[in-house]
Amino acid sequence: MHAVGEALAAGDALLHIHVGKERRRDPGVRDVVAQASSRNIPVRFEEPAYFSQFPYKAHQRVVAFGPPFEYASVEEIVHGPRDEPLLVVVLDHITDPHNTGAILRTAEAAGAHGAIIPDRRAAGVNPTVRKAAAGGSAH
């Protein structure tokens, strides 16, 4: 649920959000629903069986769908506008998506301007990375 809230707060382009019906009265879920409504993002309340289709189980029955992650180029990171010295994190051979997400979350907290993730032998930004990053992948 926190990853969805972070995605909403970061302004991620979300297409729709699915929430377990039993969570309708949960204060955290109500906040997510309010944020989604303010951005005209549809929220669907689902039966518990709906969530069995997802390979990761730690979604807390709150799942967001969005377009594929758009990577910035190295040139965009290096030549982008900034008022302080450039800080870039390079992930080399980091294949575990949980580790990638944790590194992205830490990089964002440290003020990094970007992270370089190789095309091969690395965990790209996928749902597991985005959840582990808890919003850090959005920055």
What is the reported pLDDT for 12? Answer: 86
> pLDDT tens, 63-112?
999 998 889 999 999 998 889 999 999 999 999 999 999 999 999 999 99
Picking from 3-7, 28-32, 77-81, 92-96, which range would have the lowest pLDDT averaged per residue?
Answer: 3-7
Other Cβ atoms within 10 Å of 1 Cβ, number:
20
Going from the C-alpha of 83 to that of each of 15, 116, 139, the distances in angstroms are 33, 20, 16
Does pLDDT of 56 surpass 80? no
Q: Report all structural domains of the chain as residue ranges with CATH numbers, in order of start.
A: 2-65 (3.30.1330), 74-138 (3.40.1280.10)
What is the reported pLDDT for 59? Answer: 74
Higher pLDDT, 72 or 130: 72
The pTM (predicted TM-score) of the whole model is 0.72
DSSP 139: -
